Amino acid sequence: MLERKQLKDRSQVTFVLPADVPPGPVSVVGDFNDWQPGTHALKPRGDGTRAVSVALPGKSVHSFRYLAAGDYWFDEDHADDHDGTNSRLHT
């Protein structure tokens, strides 16, 4: 799930997953972090989910995927669209 908050000239996007699905560590990897795993690792929240927030430039489009333990890549079902390989979001 994606949570969004509009800031002055940026959008804060929070990437949210259940606490245990998939199991193990998960990070969001995309063009906004040069596709570097672990840069934006999801952390547990008190509501039974895990999340990480990223501030992105307004009026831009970004590609991303999630990377879980065991080299398991997966997409965000609630992304704005998909390009065949990646999830995409529009700020």
Whole-angstrom distance, CA of residue 90 vs CA of residue 4: 11
Q: Which residues of the chain carry a pLDDT beneath 50?
A: none
Whole-angstrom distance, CA of residue 7 vs CA of residue 20: 30
pLDDT for the residue 27:
98
Q: Mind listing the pLDDT tens digit for each residue in 61-87? A: 999 999 999 999 999 999 999 998 999
pLDDT for the residue 74:
97
Residues 6+ apart with CB under 8 A from 39: 27, 29, 33
0.85 exceeded by pTM: yes
The domain segmentation of the chain, as residue ranges, is 2-81
CATH number for the domain whose boundaries are 2-81: 2.60.40.10
Q: Name the nearest CA neighbour of 67 among 10, 11, 17, 9.
A: 17
pLDDT for the residue 88:
97
